[in-house]
Structure 1
Amino acid sequence: MSLLPVMKKGVHGMKRMALTSRSPIDMVHLKKLAPALSCMFSTAVDEGHTNGSPRVNAHHVPDARTAPPFHAKDNQIDSSAISRRHWESDWSIEELRAAQAKNVVATWGPTKATANLPMLTHSEGVYLYDSDGKQYLDWTSQAVCTNLGYDVPPAVVEAVTKQLTTLPMVYGGLGMVEVRCRMAQLLSEILPGDLTGLLFPCGGGEANEAAIRIARRYTGRQKVLTQYRSYHGGSTTGLAATGDFRRWWAESNATGFIKMLSPNPTTFSWADSERAAGEMALAALEEQIIHEGPGTIAAILLESIIGSGGALKHPPGYIQGVRALCDKYGIVYIADEVMVGFGRTGELWGFQHYEGVIPDIVTSAKGLSAAYMPLAMVAMRQSLKDFFEDAPLGWGATYQAHPVALACAYECVKHLLEHNIPAHAKAMEATMVEEMGALLERHPSVRQARAAGLFGCLDLVDADGQYVQQVSGPAAPASMELKKAMMDNGLFGLFRPPFLHCAPPLVITEAELRDGFSRLDRSLDTFDKAVGL
C-alpha cells in the first residue's frame, strides 16, 4: 500500500482511518508506517502547533553527553611482590612493626594511637606477655570477653580440632549439624522460663541487630527504645540503638530508635534514693511510651547491667517495672547480656539480679565462647519461636551457627557449668568490694566504686570533684598519664575515662586479684598527682 494517500490525509485523517472498520489500513500496516508517522507527527508538532516559533512546544532537546574518560589501572597481581617471608615462621619485631605501620588500620580510635601498643606474644592463666618479656595482668578480660583466661580447657581444643577435621563448615540454611542441636538444647536448659528458640550470630552487635529485627517482624512496629547510657554494638543498627557518643557516627543512617533517660543519669539525680530514682525514671518512661504511641513501639532494649557506661545495676524495682510496662503495652523486652552473661556478675545471667524477670529476648556473646572463637546467641521465648515457625525470620548471616565456633562454645559452657565458675565470681565479689574500698580511702581521685561479682568500675574525678572528662572526650592529660602508668605497672585492659573498669577473667584467684589491685593502687598514685590531688 502506498504511503502517499495516508500522508495526504494528515494526522487527523490517519486517526479516522485507524478507527474505522472499513479503513483499508490495519494495525500491521500501522507498525510498518511507524517511521514515516513519527516523522509526520514530529513535523506536525514542530510546524503545525508552534504559532510561528519552531522551538516552542517542540520535542525536547537534551544536552549532548560526553562520557568521562576511563583511566585504566593495572589490576593484575605481581606475584614477585608477595614476600617469601610469609612462608617463614619467625619475623623480627622490626618487620612486624613495619607491616603494622604500612597496612594495619585501627577501629574505634585513630590508627596512629596504636603505633606503640605492646606486641603480645603469649599468655598463661590471667597474664599476657609481650615481645620484651614484660608481664601484664589482664584487668578487663580484654573487652570483657576472655572469661576463662588463657589456659584453654583441653576439651575445647579437642572439640575444635575434631570439628575442623570432620566438618569445618555448614551454611545454616542448607544443613544441620549435631553441635548446633546440642548447643541450642543446652542453652534452653540453662535459661529460665520458656526461652527456647536459639540463633547463633557471630558477635554481640550482630546478635542485637537480629533481636531488633525479630521484635519488629513479630510486632509489625518500628520504634525501639534504648537508654542514653548504653552500648549495643558497632553496626549501623547497633550504634543507632547505642546511647553513648559512638552513635553519632551512625544514627543519621538508621531510623526508629528513641532514647530514654537512665535511672542513673550522669548530670542529675532523679531522687535521693535508688528506689525513688527508679520509680521516677519508670514514670518518665511510661509518659514517653504514651506520647510516642504504644502501638508504634516494637521493643525496649536494655543492658541488664550497664556495661561500658560504668558497671551499673539498675535500681531496685526498675527492671520489674520495665517488664510490667512491656506487658501492658505489648512491647518486646530485649535483655542485652553480651557483656554480663555467663557468670560475669556472680549470676549466670545479669537479669537474674532482678527477681521474677524473664525477658522476651536475650542476647549474649563474649563469655559464650570465652572469646576463643567469635560466636553470639539470641534466645527467644516460645511465643516468638512459634510465630516464626511459619513466618520467615528476616535475618541471617553466612556464618550464623558456624559449626567450629559452636563446638568451641559448647565445651566452654559445659566447662563453666562443671566448675561452677559463676559461683567463683560471686565469691570474689567480697574481695572486689574490700579492695575498691581501700582505693576510695587512699585516692581522692576516686569518687565511687561498684562491684557485682567480677564486674566492677571506679569513677574518676579531678581536683574539683567532677568527672575527669566526658566519655566522648577529648582525652584529659591526666587520663593519658593514668593509662601509661597502668601499662608501666603491668595492668592491661580497656580504660574508658572517667570510668575505670575492673573485670578480670572469671578464673582469677584471690591472690591474683589482690595483685591486680596493688598494681592499680600504684597507678592511681600517678593519677592523683596528675589531677592535682
Structure 2
Amino acid sequence: MNLDELVFHPWAVQGPRDVPTLVGGSGSYVIDANGRSYLDFSSQLVFTNLGHQHPRIVAAIKEQADRLCTLAPGHASDVRGEAARLIVEVAPEGLGHVLFTTGGTEAIEHAVRMARLYTGRPKVLAAYRSYHGSTAASIHLTGDPRRWASDTGAGAAVHFFGPFLYRSAFGSRTPEEECERALAHLEQVILLEGPSTIAGLVLESVTGSSGVIVPPPGYLRGVRDLCDRHGIVYIADEVMVGFGRTGAWFGVDHDGVAPDLMVFAKGVNSGYVPLGGVVVGDAIYEMFTKRPYPAGMTYSGHPLACAAAVGAINAMREEDTVAAAARLGTDLLGPGLRELADKHGSVGDVRGIGGLWSLELVRDRSTKEPLVPAGATGAANAPMVSFARACLDRGLLPLMLGNRVHVAPPLNVSDADAAAGLAILDEALAAADKYLA
C-alpha cells in the first residue's frame, strides 16, 4: 500500500498522486525513495533558505532536544529569548518585541487582531495579487483566486491594486508611472472606504506566490506615508521574503521602510521546525503593557523551533547569506532567466530579486494570454503539467502556480548547481513552447 494515499493533501484533488516520495536531502538536493537526487529549485515552498540538513541548524535542534523539548509559552525560556533577540537585531528600527506563532498564516491573524485592537477599527486593506494564508482572516485578505472558494464577504477585507507593470491596471508605461498611479489609486480606496474605518493595511513587501512582483522604488515609502497620514497600521508580510530571500534581511529594507507590525515565518529557521511570528512596533507594544493581549497559542515560541531559528540566523551571519542572495539574483538567476526568455516564446515576463524569481508563461507575448487560465485543472492545465514532468524527468524540483514558474533555490546554492538548474529549465521550456498560439 502507498502510505501517501492515507494523507489528505492541501490545495489538491484527493486521490493517488504521481509524485516522488522524498526521504532525504543535503544542501540544494532532495533524494527520493529510489535514491534519485533532485535539485530543489523551489526551496520547498520558499523556506529552506539554507538548504537541506544544514549542520548548524540540525545541531541546534539536537542540542535543544537533549535539554528540553517543549515548554508552555507562559514560562520564561532562554532559547525563546535568544531567538527574539536575534530577530529584533536584524528587524527595522522601532520593532522591539516578538510574538511567536507556528507559521505565517497564524501570524497574519495575530497582526490583524493587534491592528484592530490598537485602532478600534474593523477593516483591513490588502492587494489583489497577494497570498496571506488560509485561515479565516488571512484567506479573506488573500487577493488571488485561492480566496474564492472560502470568501464569505464577511472578513472586513478591502482589496486594492498594487503596482504590477507587466499587467498594469493603470495603463502605465514606466515603473515611475506605475508607482505614482498605484499610490494615487490606494489613496482613493482609503478615502472612499473611510479612513476612520480602516485598522490596517497588510502588504507583501515583494509579492510572493501570487506572481513575484517587486514594487517599484518609492512604493513602500508611499504606503508608509499614507498609513501615517490616516492612522492606519502598516503590516508588512515578510513570510516568504524575510530573512534574506530578496538580498536584504527583509523586503522593506530595499525602500528603507519600518512598518508598525512585521509578520515572518519560513526563512527564520529554514522551515526545519514550524515557526512564525509578529515583530511588534513599540507603540503597539506599549498599549499591551497596560492591558493583556487577548490571545495565545499552545506552541508559541516552541523551544525546538526557536533553537532552529537561533542556529539559522547565526549561520546566515557567519556565512554572509544575505549578500550571497543579492549576488545570486544579480549575477546568476537574473541574467540566466533573461537569456531563457530570449530563447523561448512561451516566456512572457521575467521578474525577481535576490533568490526569488518568476517566469510568467504565455501563449502569445503580444496579447499576454496566460499559458493556462487561472485555476486550470485537467486538460486545461496540460501545458504546465507537461513542463513539470520535463523538469522532474531531468532531476529538477520546480515550483509552479497557475501559469508561472517560480525560481527559488536555497540562498547558498552553488554557482554550478544554479547553472545546472537553469539548463534544465531551458530544456523544459521547450515543452511549454509547443503550446504557443
TM-score range for the pair, normalised by the shorter chain length: over 0.9
1:367 is matched with 267
Letter of the structure 2 residue corresponding to residue 518 of structure 1: A
Task: State the Cα deviation string for residues 194-253 of structure 1 (Å, max 9, x = none).
Answer: 100111100011111111011011111110000000000111211111001111122217
Runs of 5+ consecutive residues of structure 1 not aligned to the other structure: 1-94
Runs of 5+ consecutive residues of structure 2 not aligned to the other structure: none
1:263 is matched with 163
Letter of the structure 2 residue corresponding to residue 440 of structure 1: A
- Paired residue for 2:204, among 293, 303, 310? 303
Distance (Å, rounded) in 1 between the aligned partners of 2:171 and 2:118: 34
| SS in structure 2 of the partner of residue 300 of structure 1 | strand
Structure 1 residues 243-254: aligned runs within 5 Å? 243-252=143-152, 254=154
- Paired residue for 2:47, among 131, 137, 145? 145
| SS in structure 1 of the partner of residue 305 of structure 2 | helix
Distance (Å, rounded) in 2 between the aligned partners of 1:254 and 1:417: 43
TM-score, scaled to structure 2: 0.95
The answer on whether the counterparts of 2:170 and 2:182 sit within 8 Å (CA) in structure 1 is: no
2:386 is matched with 481
- Paired residue for 2:334, among 433, 443, 453? 433
Letter of the structure 2 residue corresponding to residue 214 of structure 1: M
Distance (Å, rounded) in 1 between the aligned partners of 2:372 and 2:58: 43
2:427 is matched with 522
1:9 is matched with none
Following superposition, the deviation at residue 383 of structure 1 comes to: 0.7
Structure 1 residues 75-90: aligned runs within 5 Å? none
Letter of the structure 2 residue corresponding to residue 106 of structure 1: H
The answer on whether the counterparts of 2:375 and 2:402 sit within 8 Å (CA) in structure 1 is: no
- State yes or no: 1:385 paired with 2:385: no
TM-score, scaled to structure 1: 0.78
- State yes or no: 1:415 paired with 2:319: no
Distance (Å, rounded) in 2 between the aligned partners of 1:250 and 1:100: 26
1:193 is matched with 93
- Paired residue for 1:239, among 107, 121, 139? 139
By relative contact order (CA 8 Å, sep 6+), the higher-ranking structure is 2
Task: State the Cα deviation string for residues 124-173 of structure 1 (Å, max 9, x = none).
Answer: 221112122222110110100111111322x4333322322322221112
Structure with higher strand content: 2
2:375 is matched with 472
Distance (Å, rounded) in 2 between the aligned partners of 1:237 and 1:452: 29
Change (3 A) 1:498 1:269: farther
Change (3 A) 1:236 1:486: same
Distance (Å, rounded) in 2 between the aligned partners of 1:275 and 1:235: 35
The answer on whether the counterparts of 1:217 and 1:393 sit within 8 Å (CA) in structure 2 is: no
Letter of the structure 1 residue corresponding to residue 14 of structure 2: T
Letter of the structure 2 residue corresponding to residue 477 of structure 1: A
The answer on whether the counterparts of 1:440 and 1:448 sit within 8 Å (CA) in structure 2 is: yes
- Paired residue for 1:172, among 73, 91, 95? 73
Letter of the structure 1 residue corresponding to residue 362 of structure 2: V
The answer on whether the counterparts of 1:237 and 1:254 sit within 8 Å (CA) in structure 2 is: no
- State yes or no: 1:320 paired with 2:221: yes
| Percent identity over paired residues | 37
1:292 is matched with 193
| SS in structure 2 of the partner of residue 324 of structure 1 | helix
Distance (Å, rounded) in 1 between the aligned partners of 2:381 and 2:32: 27
| SS in structure 2 of the partner of residue 234 of structure 1 | coil
| SS in structure 2 of the partner of residue 275 of structure 1 | helix
| SS in structure 1 of the partner of residue 369 of structure 2 | coil
Letter of the structure 2 residue corresponding to residue 134 of structure 1: R
| SS in structure 1 of the partner of residue 106 of structure 2 | helix
Following superposition, the deviation at residue 465 of structure 1 comes to: 4.3
Task: Tell me which structure has the larger Cα radius of gyration.
Answer: 1
The answer on whether the counterparts of 1:263 and 1:270 sit within 8 Å (CA) in structure 2 is: no
Distance (Å, rounded) in 2 between the aligned partners of 1:323 and 1:270: 24
Following superposition, the deviation at residue 392 of structure 1 comes to: 2.0
1:329 is matched with 230
Letter of the structure 2 residue corresponding to residue 478 of structure 1: P
Letter of the structure 2 residue corresponding to residue 100 of structure 1: D
Letter of the structure 2 residue corresponding to residue 371 of structure 1: G
1:510 is matched with 415
Task: State the Cα deviation string for residues 79-98 of structure 1 (Å, max 9, x = none).
Answer: xxxxxxxxxxxxxxxx4x1x
Structure 1 residues 10-409: aligned runs within 5 Å? 95=1, 97=2, 99-101=3-5, 103-112=6-15, 115-153=17-55, 155-173=56-74, 175-252=75-152, 254-264=154-164, 266=167, 268-355=169-256, 357-409=257-309
Following superposition, the deviation at residue 267 of structure 1 comes to: 6.6
The answer on whether the counterparts of 2:39 and 2:395 sit within 8 Å (CA) in structure 1 is: yes
Task: State the Cα deviation string for residues 6-48 of structure 1 (Å, max 9, x = none).
Answer: xxxxxxxxxxxxxxxxxxxxxxxxxxxxxxxxxxxxxxxxxxx
Following superposition, the deviation at residue 481 of structure 1 comes to: 1.0
Change (3 A) 1:180 1:499: same
